[in-house]
Amino acid sequence: MTKVVLVDDHAMFRAGVRAELGSRVDIVGEAGTVAEAVAVIDRTKPDVVLLDVHMPDGGGLAVLQSMQGSDARVLALSVSDAAEDVIALIRAGACGYVTKTISSDELTAAVARVADGDVVFSPRLAGFVLDAFRDAPVAPAIDPEIDQLTPREREVLRLLARGYAYKEIASELFISIKTVETHASNVLRKLQLSNRHQLTRWAADRRML
Amino acid sequence: MHLRVSDGNHGRVTTAVAPPRRLYRRPDRGIAGGVATGIAEHVGVSVRTIRIGFIALAVAGGLGVALYGAYLIVVPPAPDAGPSRFPTWVEYVGAGIAAIAAVGVAASSLPQGGLFLPTLLACLGGALIWRQATEPERSRLRSLSRTSLTAASGQRLGRARLAAGAALVVAGAVLVLAKADFSAIRDGALAVTVTVIGLALITGPWWMRMATQLSAERAERIRSQERADIAAHLHDSVLQTLALIQRNAETPREVVRLARGQERELRTLLYGSRQASGQLAEHLRTMAGEVEDAYAIKVDVVCVGDAEVDADLAALVAAAREALVNAGKHAGVASVSLYAEVEPDEVSVFVKDRGVGFDPAQVADDRQGVRASIEARMARHGGSARLRSSAGEGTEVELRMPRKATK
């Protein structure tokens, strides 16, 4: 069974997630602070960390930054769906981002997908990425490989944003589910690696909104 | 600095009048600090008489100016007086000109003016600083001056400035003593300038720190104002909603609807309040919120890009609303996705649910919903609508509206 660590400063929320997921994944540890989280992840070596974004002492970002050497994959979980939170967590290395209003079935599926090495794109995250890579670059891309999306990746993202599941995307585009997953992973990697000026500016603009 | 209302303790030393009837300035009614007005009120003579008296004394040897200045410094403004009628800088410029003129006149007329007046001016300047300050500021000044004098080596700049100021003051005095050319206005003016620069250098750090502290205080006030706004909001809406949820605990649908509506409202407060109005994304979100409330479903809105809403886009929003309402009524699901993308030449909106679906071919022609309110509406504005559905697979409505004016 997938070993999961829950990191959230609200004990009540941890209890809720434990009650919902407890029978379907193996919850090996919980943490309420950044320091606890780092210790628990180090000790229990989980497959997946469910990480809250907003916590005292730096929040999820601090946890992500201090688990550089760990093999655990991180799924960010938050009440906030503000663009700056989403993008910051993904760029720090999270494999996906879901909001806390997600249903237990969807959350279980998301955990399983992250444990399998895939990424989790909520429609909202797909929308953010499309938005961030939308405009034609003002300056020529520094590294076109990671600074631009391919037309196919764009198509996949659009369908994700429209609420399609991977299976539905696969049948819509006549490709295999595996290919959809590859496209999604590539997009996430581009989002993490791209240091193009526009992406930072986009994030800054969003904060102004 | 504005002229502050001084508390009574500090005026007592300088006014010879018994406490019940004290001499006050009326800066809110007078012209230059309200000295004449205050005196006139105090002794019961018309203001004009007092003013003429001052002017006469000023013309005959300059005593009137000095007297007026002395009154201005030692007489506190009336406790009930408002701030001056003029902007603060006007008063300071006026006071500066008056001081220079007074010193010039006195330096030329008094035999020892060149030496006496700069010193007097320096003392009066210091007195003025203390006079204008209210008690908490005074104690702050005291502590500030202490830190300025006992500053650590890190604050070398402050010490250098202090030393330079003191040196200038001494230099001014020496200059006056050495060149004891008692009749020269030039020397007096020069000495005064040097003294004033010295004073400015000495007190400069204080004023700068005062200014920083004032702006810090202002920022703090704004913050607490914001906190109060949020507290008020929490009280008005969140607590109300929580109360309603408790009363509706038996009907999960109603609870979800209340919670969702409150969540939306809070999100707008936290993240969306500064968004420009009249934009497509905002219209879509508002519309989706209304549908959420009316049909107790959750609408996940994702918008890419944004555009000003014109008549065509308003029709697009209305058609999207109709599609959401259909999903809410017939699909039998808890959530619906709404995706909008603004491209340079067209705007597309997708409404997708995973509900029961239906066979579009079997819908009777006379049914209003899709035909009239979605397809016809889109066609009228030059757009198109496409509906994909099959029983058990959910429904997706695709709306496309070309953009006329592309920027």
The model's pLDDT over B152-180, given as tens digits with 9 standing for 90+, comes to 444 555 556 566 666 666 666 666 666 55
Nearest to A82 among B271, B274, B354 (CB): B271
Nearest partner of B95 among B70, B130, B117, judged by Cα? B70
Which amino acid, one-letter code, is at B240?
Answer: Q
Q: Who's near B284: CB < 8 A, 6+ residues apart?
A: B301, B303, B317, B320, B338, B340, B349
What pLDDT is attached to residue B351? Answer: 92
Nearest to B304 among A82, A101, A134 (CB): A134
Cβ contacts (< 8 Å) between B271 and chain A: which residues?
80, 82, 209
Average pLDDT on A195-201 reads 60
A172: pLDDT strictly greater than 70: yes
Asked if B350 lies within 8 A of A127 by C-beta distance, the reply is: no
Q: Is B21 on the interface with A (CB under 8 A)?
A: no
What pLDDT is attached to residue B120? Answer: 58
What pLDDT is attached to residue B96? Answer: 75
Q: Which residue has the tokens 């909603």?
A: B241
Alpha helices in B179-310 (DSSP H): 185-233, 239-247, 252-267, 280-295
Q: Residue A18's CB: how many other CB atoms inside 10 A?
A: 14
Q: Say how many CB pairs under 8 Å bridge A and B.
A: 45
The first and second tokens of residue B213, run together, are 């502290």
When the pLDDT of each residue in chain A is averaged and rounded to a whole number, the result is 82
What pLDDT is attached to residue A209? Answer: 39
Q: Who's near B280: CB < 8 A, 6+ residues apart?
A: B303, B306, B307, B308, B309, B313, B317, B340, B342, B347
Q: Is B182 on the interface with A (CB under 8 A)?
A: no
A9: pLDDT strictly greater than 70: yes
Q: Is B396 on the interface with A (CB under 8 A)?
A: yes
For B343, nearest residue in chain A (alpha carbons) = A134
Q: Is B292 on the interface with A (CB under 8 A)?
A: no
Nearest to B275 among A127, A164, A209 (CB): A209
Cβ contacts (< 8 Å) between B396 and chain A: which residues?
162
CA triple A194-A199-A203, angle to 5 deg: 135
8 Å CB contact between B288 and B271? no
What pLDDT is attached to residue B132? Answer: 47
Q: How far apart are CA B252 and CA A78, in angstroms?
A: 23
Q: Which residues of chain B have pLDDT under 50?
A: 1-19, 113, 131-136, 147-154, 406-407
CA torsion angle for B314, B315, B318, B323 (degrees, to 10)?
-130
Average pLDDT on A10-29 reads 87
Higher-confidence residue of A9 and B119: namely: A9
Nearest to A131 among B300, B304, B337 (CB): B304
Q: What is the pLDDT of residues A25-53, one digit of tens each?
A: 888 988 888 888 888 888 888 999 998 88
How far is the alpha carbon of A17 from chain B, nearest alpha carbon, in Å? 19
8 Å CB contact between B84 and B33? yes
Q: Is B303 on the interface with A (CB under 8 A)?
A: yes
The residues with which B300 forms a beta bridge, in sequence order, are B337
For A126, nearest residue in chain B (alpha carbons) = B302
8 Å CB contact between A127 and B304? yes
Q: How far apart are CA B246 and CA A36, in angstroms?
A: 35
Minimum mean pLDDT range among A7-16, A144-153, B170-179: B170-179
What pLDDT is attached to residue B83? Answer: 62
What pLDDT is attached to residue B18? Answer: 46
Q: How far apart are CA B83 and CA B5, in angstroms?
A: 9
What pLDDT is attached to residue B165? Answer: 63
Average pLDDT on A10-22 reads 86
Q: How far apart are CA A141 and CA B355, in angstroms?
A: 42
CA torsion angle for B182, B185, B191, B192 (degrees, to 10)?
130
- Strand bridging mode B335-342 / B298-304: parallel
Q: Is B393 on the interface with A (CB under 8 A)?
A: no
What pLDDT is attached to residue B121? Answer: 57
Which amino acid, one-letter code, is at B147?
Answer: T
3-class secondary structure, A75: strand
Q: How far apart are CA A9 and CA A24, in angstroms?
A: 23
Nearest to B302 among A101, A124, A208 (CB): A124
Asked if B305 lies within 8 A of A134 by C-beta distance, the reply is: yes
Q: Which residue has the tokens 């679906």?
A: B357
Q: How far apart are CA A60 and CA A62, in angstroms?
A: 5
Strand order in the sheet with B335-342: B298-304, B335-342, B346-353, B394-402, B384-390
